[in-house]
Structure 1
Amino acid sequence: MGINSILAFAFGLFLLYIVGILLVIPIRLIVKLIINGVLGGILLLIVNLIGSFIGISIAINPLTAIIVGIFGIPGILLLLIIQYIL
């Protein structure tokens, strides 16, 4: 085993590490988006339950859940403005 073999092995491990990092980052983003979408759907459900007393409702679908999941309470306000004003 010469120095060339050792350097090639080290370089291969380094490339494997870089590829692993590049694959993990998008997976984290997708998982975060899914979790935020589920939490957004739950928040929409709560708003619909409470809003049913005063006549406010927002349709629960993947798009509205993701909007609320990303923006939170301002997302709900945005959906209400879009629904009732536009």
Structure 2
Amino acid sequence: MEPVIVIGSILLAVLLLFMSGVQANPFKWLGLIGIKFVAGALFLFCLNLFGESLGLHVSINPVTSGISGLLGIPGVAALVVIEKFII
């Protein structure tokens, strides 16, 4: 996808949020989601660090960080199962 289209879509979404008068602060939600992504990356780092002796390794990227951050420990377990048995 072209960067201009992506940036335009994001700006349009932010503009629509401001125009609709959303009562909740949208930047608060963005901050919380960002914190969860970082926590997910830390979960995966710890898994890779301690799971090395067991042969467990899950790559750290935005998708896996998001899954593990938003779902927590069950998300990390699901990623391990997917990595071991499906991929």
TM-score (norm 1): 0.70
- Does 1:28 pair with 2:32? no
For 1:33 and 1:23, the matched residues in 2 are separated by 18
Shift of 1:49: 0.3
Query: Offset at 1:25?
Result: 2.9
Structure 2 residue runs of 5 or longer lacking an equivalent are 1-18
> Do structure 1's residue 63 and structure 2's residue 63 form an aligned pair?
yes
Q: Give 2:22's aligned amino acid.
A: L
Secondary structure of 2:22's counterpart equals: helix
- Offset from partner CA, 1:29-73 (integer Å, 9 cap, x none): 211110000011011101100000111010000110110100010
> What secondary structure, in the 3-state scheme, does the structure 1 residue paired with 2:81 have?
helix
Identity, in percent, stands at 31
Q: What residue is the counterpart of 1:85 in the other structure?
A: 85
Amino acid corresponding to residue 59 of structure 2 in structure 1: A
CA distance in 1, matches of 2:37, 2:45: 12
**Equivalent AA in structure 1 for residue 83 of structure 2:** Q
Greater C-alpha Rg: 1
Cα separation, 2, equivalents of 1:42 and 1:23:
32
